[in-house]
């Protein structure tokens, strides 16, 4: 099956900033958090979004779910255009494409027991005529939690257990695509492995597709078929995960990969150090937006906006791609 499940074209999302004074002073009153993003996600595959905080990863994921209005562009999900749909029309879509939010414990209501948390999706989607206690038992078994966890509250769960409950909520209504925002952030390495194994299992068993946001590159390599690197709201490089890890073409991707701390005290690092100052979205640099931090930047980079090019199986925006 290599059918496109999700096709996003030239997506733009912006936020209003500043008030009347900014407008009167002629300052920018809008920032484009997602700026012309295009990608496709195939059925049964996993796509990872990586990039620094503030690069627009979470905004992009929220927009797909209709939690953030689209300014321009299209989102085709299972052949249906999502842009402009009302909240009511989005409801069945969200059932097919649930979102797992960051912070395993914080994303669960502290006042609800695990039983209520797992019944809630059925109630919200008008399926409370189902045998809810059987559904709760089924979901707990699917994510590998003992049956008696149904009576616990979020504060009685460890981070890993809370994350499993989050996964159970996401898969409750047999979705096709799970959008997971930092599914393993804050978890210990051994627990992180358990959660990733669980997600991989569910994907194989239920034929799920996944869109994963993470800044842990080691996780990306273990779980994603394809990946995209975001910088200032744009995809600077996207392609097959293994190929990108083997030979990144965009200098920013190369810097990210080289900055990955590795557990070997004797390793000689050939780090690409970037100046730490990320430009503001209010004052995007001219030309290639990465040129202010790019070690390879040349005069042309400050002037010409690079058009997307294909290098191997990757697509990127760079005048002077690496490893070609």
Partner 1 sequence: MTVLEVKNLNVAFHTESGRLEALKQVSFSVPANRSVGVVGESGCGKSTLINAILGLLADNGEITSGEIIFEGDQDLARLGPTAMRGLRGQSIATVFQDPMGALNPVLSVGRQMRDIQYRSGLSKRDKDARSVAMLRKVRIPDPESRLTQFPHEFSGGMKQRIAIAMALMMEPALLIADEPTTALDATLEVATIELLKDLQRDIGCSVLFISHHLGVIAELCDEMIVMYAGEVVESGTTREIFHDARHPYTQKLLACDPARLSQRVARLPTIAGTLPDLRRRPSGCVFQPRCDRADAQCLTTPPNAPIGGSHIAHCWHADVSLGAMSA
Rounded to 10 deg, the angle between the 159-171 and 114-124 helix axes is: 20
Is residue 53 classed exposed, middle or buried when 0-12, 13-18 and 19+ CB atoms within 10 A define those classes? exposed
Q: Which residue in the set 128, 133, 158, 313 belongs to the binding site for partner 1 (CB under 8 A)?
A: 158
Q: Which residue in the set 103, 215, 284, 320 belongs to the binding site for partner 1 (CB under 8 A)?
A: 215
d(CA 294, CA 255): 9
* 271: Cβ contacts below 8 Å, ≥ 6 apart: 258, 259
Q: Which residue in the set 4, 30, 81, 188 belongs to the binding site for partner 1 (CB under 8 A)?
A: 188
| H/E run at residue 134 | helix 132-142
Report 78-137 residues binding partner 1 (CB under 8 A): none
Q: Which residue, 285 or 308, is less far from partner 1 as judged by CB?
A: 285
Least distance (Å) between residue 266 CB and partner 1: 7
Residue 217 contacts partner 1 per CB under 8 A: yes
Q: Which residue in the set 78, 103, 120, 194 belongs to the binding site for partner 1 (CB under 8 A)?
A: 194
Q: Which residue in the set 24, 88, 268, 276 belongs to the binding site for partner 1 (CB under 8 A)?
A: 276
Residue 222 contacts partner 1 per CB under 8 A: yes
Residue of 99, 107, 194, 116 lying closest to 153 (CA atoms): 116
Residue of 100, 112, 106, 204 lying closest to 151 (CA atoms): 112
d(CA 114, CA 95): 19
d(CA 195, CA 215): 16
Instruction: Name the segment binding partner 1 (CB under 8 A); options: 21-29, 36-44, 84-92, 259-267.
Output: 259-267
Least distance (Å) between residue 65 CB and partner 1: 23
Instruction: Name the segment binding partner 1 (CB under 8 A); options: 23-31, 127-135, 187-195, 229-237.
Output: 187-195
Residue of 70, 29, 6, 73 lying closest to 226 (CA atoms): 6
Give the residues lining the site for partner 1 (CB under 8 A).
52-54, 158-159, 186, 188-194, 196-197, 200, 215-219, 221-222, 242, 255-256, 259-267, 271, 273-274, 276-278
């Amino acid at each position: 099956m290599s059918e496109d499940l999700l096709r996003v074209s030239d997506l733009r999302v912006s936020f209003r900033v500043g008030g009347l004074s900014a407008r009167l002073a002629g300052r920018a009153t809008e920032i484009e958090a997602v700026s012309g993003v295009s990608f496709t996600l195939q059925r049964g595959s996993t796509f990872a979004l990586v990039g620094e905080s503030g690069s627009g990863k979470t905004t992009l994921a929220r927009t797909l779910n209709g939690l953030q209005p689209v300014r321009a562009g299209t989102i085709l999900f299972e052949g249906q255009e999502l842009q402009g749909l009302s909240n009511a029309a989005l409801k069945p879509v969200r059932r097919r494409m649930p979102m797992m939010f960051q912070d395993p414990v914080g994303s669960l209501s502290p006042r609800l027991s695990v039983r209520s948390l797992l019944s809630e999706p059925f109630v919200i989607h008008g399926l409370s005529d189902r045998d809810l206690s059987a559904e709760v038992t089924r979901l707990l078994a699917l994510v590998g939690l003992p049956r008696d966890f149904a009576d616990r509250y979020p504060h009685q769960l460890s981070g890993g257990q809370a994350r499993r409950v989050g996964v159970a909520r996401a898969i409750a209504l047999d979705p096709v695509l799970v959008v997971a925002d930092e599914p393993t952030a804050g978890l210990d390495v051994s627990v992180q492995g358990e959660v990733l194994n669980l997600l991989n299992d569910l994907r194989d068993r239920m034929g799920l597709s996944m869109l994963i946001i993470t800044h842990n590159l080691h996780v990306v390599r273990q779980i994603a078929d394809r990946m995209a690197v975001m910088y200032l709201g744009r995809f600077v490089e996207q392609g097959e995960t293994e190929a990108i890890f083997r030979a990144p073409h965009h200098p920013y991707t190369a810097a990210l990969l080289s900055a990955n701390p590795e557990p070997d005290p004797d390793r000689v690092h050939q780090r690409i150090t970037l100046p730490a100052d990320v430009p503001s979205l209010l004052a995007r640099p001219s030309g290639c937006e990465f040129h202010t931090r790019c070690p390879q930047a040349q005069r042309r980079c400050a002037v010409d906006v690079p058009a997307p090019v294909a290098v191997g199986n990757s697509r990127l925006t760079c005048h002077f791609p690496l490893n070609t």
